[in-house]
Structure 1
Amino acid sequence: MHIKTTAAVFCLSIMLAACGQGTPQNKAASAASGTSAASPVSSAASADADFMGVKVGKTTLDEARKILPDLQAGQGTITIGKHSIPMETYTALPAADGETVVFSFDGDSKILQQIMRLSPRPFAQTRSELAAKHPAYTMTREEFGMLNRSGITYEQHLAEIKQAEQAALFRQGDVLIIGSVNNTPDKSLVIYLNAKYMPEALKKVRQ
């Protein structure tokens, strides 16, 4: 199973390059839901960058396996700007509401750097849940420069995000939380990305 996730700037001129019209997330969802040995994940803490004690930027792969012993292993990448970063990717079975969770670990440090949620719930509901726990966030110029793959300027980004209806950006400590529609408004996608990992990952691929 190969999973590709994209934490890039803006689908529909917003925030997630593959979220609206692209297919990588759908492939991830179908691949994940087709596994039979993955761990079920509760969606109770779905608005947090902490799933059953598995934390972005903190939890190691060994620690995650102890918490979720039946995670389904696969190959995958995360995309930062125009660069694809190979990751060790693990999938959890859908929760009771049909949500699938994908965990991406750095291959060297084995630390969790990204969580991706693929939810059958409407984006409006997911955005409300996120907004209830996290303040809206505006990316810094430096963050935008690392994530930007659309060719728009930072000033255009600031203008467009004010009118965004199909994506939203929040922050929890060092974790960027990027939410969007997943092809249609009745499905949603949320990526939790360790902001501190971005320059490290880009340095690796540029060496």
Structure 2
Amino acid sequence: MFAKADFPWWIAGGYAIGLAAGRELRLHGDLDVLVLRRDQALVRDLLADWDLYVADPPGQGELRPWRPREVLQPPLHDIWCRRTPVAPWSIQLMLDEAEGTQWVSRRHSTIRLPIDRLGRTSETGIPYLAPEVQLFYKAKATREKDETDFQAVLPQLGAPARAWLADAIRVIAPSHPWLRRLQTVSRT
């Protein structure tokens, strides 16, 4: 479905980590997809036949319909998608910020990357979020599965990716346990 999109998009969440690791690490309940907020009208059109709900307010467990032509403003960024009103949720769509050619983290505006470095492409042509960016999002409230993801891709992160991830985590969680491990790996 997203292959026909004329805007950038990336597989996110655990699937992104699996694509980076080159293997599936665990089962997933849904598919996470990241798009830039500025492309929300295009993604809304792409999913016009879907049942779409926005988490409003974010993180409170409440959903409301995402109305056609409604422009979602920050802090709204999480959209739950299902094919029909009786189907299970299958896609979690996340909106992220951009300024020109820069991706801007919705968690802290000083955390940035050029958009062309935000993702990677799998051997089969699937765009996915760069593992260091996905790990940054997972660092906010680390769960067991996030630790598994971190361990799976840490050996694959080059020095620039490790440095970017460490710098980004320091901004949001200066005493995060991953920081020590990122420094240890970067010295070896």
Fold in common (TM above 0.5):
no
Q: Which structure has the larger Rg? A: 2
Give TM-score scaled by structure 2 length. Answer: 0.33
**Relative contact order higher in (CA < 8 Å, ≥ 6 apart):** 1
More strand per residue: 1 or 2? 1
